[in-house]
Chain A
């Protein structure tokens, strides 16, 4: 049996920050493999290094030691432009939504496609489809300030899906919305994973939320302490 290239793979990943003059070992050798179609939750308390790991996997930051492979490509060999290109194949969903306030929902979803150089008509059509997928077709002309927290996060998910990414990278996606809405969001995420085959990596400190994933990786003090397969 030929194994497909993992979407994300890390090899002995280490990251050391210098805070003031004190070196902080945020990651102390993380080995992780995410296959296509996976739904992985990275669970850990604050300070466990999960956000640092997210930055590495998202090609937002470079490791001190070790390697990150995204679709088999060694991230450390890429220059700034190549990293930017790589990030287009990653769908980011942030805790604080990080929508552009002056653009309406559709404009926000169109943005990554505009960055990729897609034509106006094409990206508008696709944005509307995506907003329909997340159930926001009726609100697409509203600006983020006119949307509820849950709606904003759904716009953010639609935006993350815009460039048909290799995987969604979600940072506490329900951390800033009420529990009822959070349930809707997680239902949406599960549906995307199950029906659309979207690979999902979700970072959370919420045990309850993590149990929704197919697989859980528990982190503490910069290391993976436990892997739980829920299938």
Chain B
């Protein structure tokens, strides 16, 4: 029997049982849609996060922080408890290393900024304005006012979103405004509010995204010396190291040298390392999501098998007739497999379409609902748009998987159909 005739016969059999075939296909549609939707959203999310990370990135800088794996800085919950602390003066040790252009400590606390009427929660970052502006020359740039290179202790530079959180003309604070900076000192009992008055000297240009140690729209920046006295500590959260070159060799060599100087009690992170962490985290997430979705597809597969076994009983006589007409066992097998291929093909096609629609609907809901990434700078709600991404791999994978599952679960019933003895099949009532 010709391949075309096999398919046309199979298609006729499917058309005869439209509702049943439709429901069987629906199982595949749901499974494939789940896979496509979850993967395209997660890939879209990865693209968004990577883009946003990269927007504040400098490739020739390293971040030194205490403990292992503190890539996302304090507050990420990744800091290992040790007695070791990086101090402001540790920059001197780092500066001696060959390949280091300069380094700069950051003291960081979650604090409050009070303007005349309102209070905002924000990261208060103690930095060296001159060096920070040098390292992040493209993002630590004033939109309004000027960033002083030798700041007075009571100066403060604010991120764009701190100044203009609502985007409706009303500003939380502007250049030359006086603000009160406050943090809750929990090292004393009872915890005590520490405050001082500062003057806004500059509002940063919008950086976009959520930056990694680099300038952020939702942080306020105060001079490092002020931070030392205000927070009462010389311990720093991280030290940013500017390198003389951004090639891999320099990055690796300096990273190793720094770790060695501090007896492996610090971790050194480069921008590329962060990206690779993000990418590996997403790979794991995608695998997990795909796994969950795949389970639903397997359930659909069991449904296909179930339906085919039932339909096999109904069609026993038909198979007997076909065999009496001289049809070979392998052709009977091919007919049943073709039915599964058609179901898989339809299911995968509609599933991919539905998945894509679902992904876009979900992305719109996330974006429109002010979906905030609870990242390090997530205290001020982020503007965060996910555009679902569907890669050819996902497309072809979903397609192949849909058909493969349908076919695999059809093999057993199809094999049983092909093995029916004609004389018994013809006798079947």
Q: Chain A: residues with CB nearer than 8 A to chain B?
A: 55, 58, 60-61, 80-81, 84-88, 92, 94, 98, 100, 102-103, 111-112, 114-117, 120, 159, 163
The reply to whether B329 and A84 form a contact with Cβ atoms under 8 Å apart is yes
* Stretch of B96-104, B205-213, B318-326, B367-375 with 4 or more beta carbons under 8 angstroms from chain A: B318-326
Nearest 8 A-B pairs (CB), nearest first?
A: A88-B326, A87-B326, A60-B423, A61-B423, A84-B328, A112-B325, A60-B422, A114-B5
Q: Judge whether B326 and A55 touch: CB under 8 Å.
A: no
Residues of A within 8 A of B16 (CB): 102
Rounded to whole angstroms, the CA-CA distance of A95 and B317 in the bound complex is 14
Number of A-B contacts (CB under 8 A): 66
Expressed in whole angstroms, the Cα–Cα distance for A58 and B422 within the complex equals 10
CB pair B326–A163 under 8 Å, yes or no, is yes
Q: How many residues of B contact A (CB 8 A)?
A: 26
A175 and B258 alpha carbons, distance in the complex (Å)? 98
Smallest Cβ-Cβ distance to A162: which chain B residue: B325
Q: Give Cα A84–Cα B422 distance, bound, in whole angstroms.
A: 10
Q: A60-B423, A60-B426, A117-B1 are in contact. Are A87 and B13 (CB under 8 A)?
A: no
A103 and chain B: residue at smallest CB distance: B12
Name the distance in Å between B12's Cβ and chain A's nearest Cβ. Answer: 6
Q: Are A88 and B325 in contact (CB under 8 A)?
A: yes
A80 to B421: give the CA distance in the assembly, Å.
Answer: 10
Is B12 touching A111 in the complex (CB atoms < 8 A)? no
Cα–Cα distance between A80 and B331 once the two chains are bound (Å): 12
Q: Hey, what's the 0/1 contact readout for B397-426 against A, CB within 8 Å counting as 1?
A: 000000000000000000000000111001
Most buried by A among B9, B13, B329, B330: B9
Interchain Cβ contacts under 8 Å between A and B, 28 examples: A60-B423, A60-B426, A61-B421, A61-B422, A61-B423, A80-B328, A84-B323, A84-B326, A87-B326, A88-B326, A92-B325, A98-B317, A98-B320, A98-B321, A102-B13, A102-B16, A103-B12, A111-B322, A114-B2, A114-B5, A115-B325, A115-B326, A115-B327, A116-B1, A116-B326, A117-B2, A159-B325, A163-B326
Of chain B, the residue at the smallest CB distance from A107 is: B12
Using known A-B contacts A55-B423, A60-B426, determine if residue A87 contacts B318 with beta carbons closer than 8 Å.
no
In the complex where A61-B423, A98-B321 touch, is A80 in contact with B329 (Cβ < 8 A)? Answer: yes
Look across to chain A and name the residue whose beta carbon is closest to the beta carbon of B328: A84
Complex Cα distance, B13 from A112, in Å, reads 17
Interface contact A100-B318, CB-CB below 8 Å: yes
CA distance A116 to B326 in the complex (A): 8
Task: Return chain A residues, CB-CB under 8 Å to B328.
Answer: 80-81, 84-85
B259 → chain A closest CB, angstroms = 71
Q: How far is the CB of B261 from chain A (nearest CB, A)?
A: 78
The smallest C-beta distance from B428 to any residue of chain A, in angstroms, reads 11
